[in-house]
Amino acid sequence: MTPEEATVIDDAAPRVLRPRALRPTDLVVVAALSGPLHAEYEPDLERAEAVLRGMGFRVRRAPLLQAGRHRWWSVARPDEIADELNGLLRDPEVRAIVGHDGGQTVLGYLDRIDTAAVVADPKPILGYSDISLLHLALYGRTGLVGFHADLATPGLGAAWAAAPAGRRAELERLYRKLLTDPAPLGALPASPAWECWRPGRAEGPLVGGVINRIALNQATAYALPPERFDGAVLFWEEIGGRAAYLWSYLHVLRHAGILDRIAGMVVGIPLAIDGLGAPGDPALSEIVLDVLGDRDIPVLGNVEFGHAGPNLPMPVGVRAALDAGRRTLELLESAVT
Query: What is the distance between the alpha carbons of residues 176 and 51, in angstroms, rounded to a whole number?
Result: 11
Q: What pLDDT is stored for residue 277 in this prediction? A: 82
Residue-wise over 111-143: b if at least 16 C-beta within 10 A, else e?
bbbbbbbbbeebbbbbbbbbbbbbbbbbbbbbb
Catalytic site includes residue 129: yes
State how far the alpha carbon of 142 is from the alpha carbons of 15, 69, 177, 258, in Å: 8, 32, 24, 20
Burial (0-12, 13-18, 19+ Cβ within 10 Å), 162: exposed
Predicted local confidence at residue 14, as pLDDT: 60
Name the catalytic one among 49, 84, 237, 304: 237
Q: Helix H segments across 153-257?
A: 160-162, 165-180, 211-217, 243-255
152: DSSP letter: I
Name all domains of the chain by residue range, CATH numbers in brackets.
3-180 (3.40.50.10740), 186-331 (3.50.30.60)
239 touches 307 (CB < 8 A): yes
What pLDDT is stored for residue 8 in this prediction? 44
Conformation bin of residue 298: beta by default, left when phi > 0, alpha when psi is -120 to 50: beta
Model pLDDT, residue 196:
98
DSSP tag of 71: B
- 132 carries an active-site annotation: no
pLDDT, tens digit only, all 337 positions of the chain: 443 344 444 444 468 999 999 999 999 999 999 999 999 999 999 999 999 999 999 999 999 999 999 999 999 999 999 999 999 999 999 999 999 999 999 999 999 999 999 999 999 999 999 999 999 999 999 999 999 999 999 999 999 999 999 999 999 999 999 999 999 999 999 999 999 999 999 999 999 999 999 999 999 999 999 999 999 999 999 999 999 999 999 999 999 999 999 999 999 999 999 999 889 999 999 999 999 999 999 999 999 999 998 999 999 999 999 999 999 999 999 999 9
Rounded CA-CA distance 326/271 in Å is 25
CA-CA distance, 283 to 278, in Å (whole number)?
9
- Dist. CA 252–CA 144, nearest whole Å: 25
**Cβ count near 7 (within 10 Å):** 15
Among 132, 307, 333, 334, the active-site one is: 307
Q: Of the listed 49, 84, 100, 129, which one is catalytic? A: 129
